[in-house]
Structure 1
Amino acid sequence: MTDRLCRLCAAILLLALSAAAPVRAASLDAGFRAFLEADIWPAAKAEGVSRAVFEAAFRGVSPNTKLPDLVLPGGKDTVAEINFQAEFKSGADYLSERAVAGNVATARKLRSRHGDLLARIEQRYGVPAPIILAIWGRESAFGAAKIPMNAFEVLGTKAYLSRRKAMFRAELIAALKIVADGHLKVSEMKSSWAGALGQPQFMPSKFLKFAVDFDGDGRRDIWNSVPDTLASIANYLQAAGWQRGRDWGFEAEIPASLSCRGEGPDKAFRIADLVDAGASRVAGRKFPQGELSTTGHLLFPAGRFGPAFVATPNFYVIKEYNNSDLYALFVGHLADRIQGAGPLVRQWRKADRLTRGDVYRMQEKLVARGMDVGAVDGLAGFKTRRSIGEAEARLGLPETCWPSKALAGRL
């Protein structure tokens, strides 16, 4: 009798949940429509977007609750326990030889095919061809990647429900302007799950600022035109501060006497001084003579558990394109490989497996102790890594500058 009652209760509960789901979806859609009319339409209209474009953009569009980093009505604003964005996962996976080598072969062929074009772009913008090719390969597999999502569904959902509503609201209005200005039709506005557009994967506001017409056909076409795509990437990096004639960085041996707490774009050193303090390039290579008197930055993308680098300011320009150390490192390393360099010398060592939620809770505890971790977001950026190193030093633990179970336990 008890089993039958339990099964009956379970069936009733399942029916109730099934009946409630359409009600919640309808309520969510109604709220979304109200948000579009009350907030997005007036802002878009003020930017010159017509009512016809606005209605076409959102015809048949509903919130896509399968997108990551959403906060549904009534839900708590917390980070996901598991991180699904590749740029913030394992360096060993992201920069594996398999991931890099295929890009190298393709990039070399494309460098030969588009040599004259790349030379003209480099002459105009000062950004080396290998860097441009590396970003093209990372962002869209040199234009071969499928980008199938409806940009207005993605951006509309995130403007309404994401943890970064203000940012995506601005991007949604910029996407409407792209159509209103005649660059694309609504049906052609396809994006990634984050709302990025075209072969260079520009967010809509970046398209409006940095996309260029390099083939002279009167359109800034980063979807189909190779000249426009490559020149737009270069224009973006030049505007972000690319220093003509400088490298992005160098894999290096950094002795323990140079603390991993010294990394970051806000801590600059003369490269000659780093050499005097014991830093050296791997495999016995020398730093270029012209770099010794310039400034560099220590970089420990996995703390003491991975390769170390002396980065130039250009490394942080690449991060303006995608704010991930691993992304910028992939681009720089791939550019080196295109020019004939070999694989990274030092290996990514095994570290404790912690979830994004684990790192988030560690950041909260570090902040409570007065340390600067940057954003409390569950991602081990350079400020979090430095604060971990500081906490390790205070607690008498080996200085690794990387999240560990040992530190979590002590905190």
Structure 2
Amino acid sequence: MSITRRVALAGMAGAALPGQAVSGAALPLAATDEAGWAALAAQYPVTRRVIQLENGYWGSMATPVLEAHREIVARLNRDNSWYARRAMVRDQAVVRERAAAAMGVLPEEIGLCRNAAEGLTALISQFRDVGPGDRILYSDTDYESTQGSMISLARARGAEAVKISLPEPPTADSAVAAYAEAIARTPRLKLVLLTHMSHRHGLVLPVARIVPLVKAAGAEAIVDCAQSFYQMRFSIPDFGADFVGMNFHKWVGAPLGAAAIWIRKGRTDAIAPSPAAPEARPDSADDRAYQGTVDYSAQLTIPAALDFQAGIDPVAKLARLQWLRDRWVGPLRGLDGLQILLPDDPALHGASTSFRIRGRTSVADNIAITDALLERFNIMTVHRAGLAGGACIRVTPSLFTTPAEVDALVPALRALVGEMAR
């Protein structure tokens, strides 16, 4: 048994949650079961010096995962290349198998990397079937680096990068219609970037409805599910696309530096090998996102993080996150001067939702709002820029967030909206 699995199981065995078997088999908790969620929250050694409502950056490791990571770091430091060049290959095989199983794919279809941005950059920039006069499509809800990769790909190949703006507020149908219209009016379309859950305002895009439109137009889709993986319940192939980037350091709760790309079996030739892999294997996803020497401890801790997550029912997890989100959105919905960017349709959001204060759409405006929330009300949030409607503030609770912490946002925003709305 690998050290990650051994240590993680040892940690979880003594920390069964109410309603959960000690064996680690997850039993559902109601979204409002405060005793159950408090027991889970106690497994996260997070600060309470601030109200942390900015949990979309990376996930905090639970104590058993943190302990496993520390042991792995110690072994890498102690045993160095003796472990790395001999025994580590076996532990890496376990990591690949466990990661692939969590993704719902085959181990040989994934390439490990440090973060979703790195993996998606490789998928986009090395996508072969784009040439002079071709077009590629992306939206204002996509991540900055993936937008940049699309623009760079177009410039390098003499193609045209077409950017669309999704409607505000969106519905599933209006989001699909925006892509359908853009696809229909874009001849020689070769590639479409789709972000499953936007880091800007939390929109969950109905990707599985859009990918068939992309393929019917003779194009391919690359899907970014960095924000949604293990927050929403799905398998990577559910999207219907052949190329996906994701990570393990957000909602899986692995250490920073653990991510992967997926290339459907038989499609590896569509992505050129990394320039750093001149003797790349034709069927190797790893050789598309070449790593070199990395901090192996992050990837080696993935099994421990997955073991911890196995004790949390995925349906209950999403329900709890959405319930925490609704505690601040509900009381503030309709407040004059406040725009909440997502509707309450649970298919369109998870934990995250962003807001704007009327007339405050610049980046500077929204930085000032986050500063006011932190300095006056002790609430940590983050500004997001890039949406066609202007900058906004993203709010993201986590599983260790208490109802009282979310509730504190309501009077804080009422006060700020009264002062700042134009």
Same fold (TM > 0.5)? no
| Structure label with greater radius of gyration | 1
The structure that is helix-richer by fraction is 1
What is the TM-score when the length of structure 2 is the normalising length?
0.25
What is the TM-score when the length of structure 1 is the normalising length?
0.26
Q: Which has the higher contact order (CA 8 A, sep 6+)?
A: 2
The structure that is strand-richer by fraction is 2
